[in-house]
Amino acid sequence: MDNKELEHYLESTLADLTLSQSERVKLRELSQVLDTEQSGFMRNRAFDLVRAQLNTAPENLQPVLKWLEMVIKTIDIANQRKKVTSSACFSPGDTCRKKICEILAQTTSKADICVFTIADDIITESILATHQRQVQIRIITDNEKSEDDGSDIEYLQRKGISIVMDNSPYHMHHKFAVFDDRYLLNGSFNWTKSASQYNYENILITDSPTLLAFYQQEFTRLWQRFS
């Protein structure tokens, strides 16, 4: 279902000011197959519908708030019951680098990358190839580290990739990325040659809706702050 259909479904359940048992079951089943972005849309739209209802019919306060409570609770329970798949990779060795490139190759709509530095030609070319497939890529990185010899940040900027930096006396030291609002990659692994060749590092890959929401929120906060 697209967002318009999701909105129409919510509106239909609010028409009689109550969320029936059958509507609750259908909403739970629907929520279990939605991605993180769609679940967020459903929650936000539910609040919008309540505000609109109370503006036109404030006397319906109690049943409308009860409807909202049941909708949010049903969505949250469905999200908690989703099967979470996670894996991990370690370096030295090519495992972490290969996993990053593999996920980039599978990304279809957007990649939000928040890393201390990028200084690995293989990862850089994988990012560029993803960008050339019309996938939206945004990168947040550290301003000082971008000036190091071997940094690929300026090269990626010249290729048209959107990049912002912290521009502060401190470091933007995160190492995480969110792909298609479906996968979170996070860990100590710096996106550099030395991290693959010499350092003891790790990355965790998960599709946990809860963790995805936290990290996407942090990316959005930093993007707005540094833009």
Q: Which of 35, 76, 82, 180 is catalytic?
A: 180
Q: How far apart are CA 224 and CA 47, in angstroms?
A: 24
208's tokens: 């946990």
Look up 8 and say whether it is catalytic.
no
| 44 phi, psi to nearest 5 deg | -65, -40
* Residue with the two structure tokens 């040659």: 193
- Are the C-beta atoms of residues 142 and 132 closer than 8 Å to each other? no
Nearest to 214 by CA among 97, 119, 117, 79: 79
| 161 phi, psi to nearest 5 deg | -85, 135
Q: Which of 152, 166, 175, 207 is catalytic?
A: 175
Look up 180 and say whether it is catalytic.
yes
Burial class (CB in 10 A: 0-12, 13-18, 19+), 128: middle
Close Cβ partners of 125 (under 8 Å, ≥ 6 residues apart): none
Look up 173 and say whether it is catalytic.
yes
Q: Which of 173, 174, 193, 207 is catalytic?
A: 173
95 half-sphere exposure, CB direction, 13 A CA radius: 15
Active-site residue set: 173, 175, 180
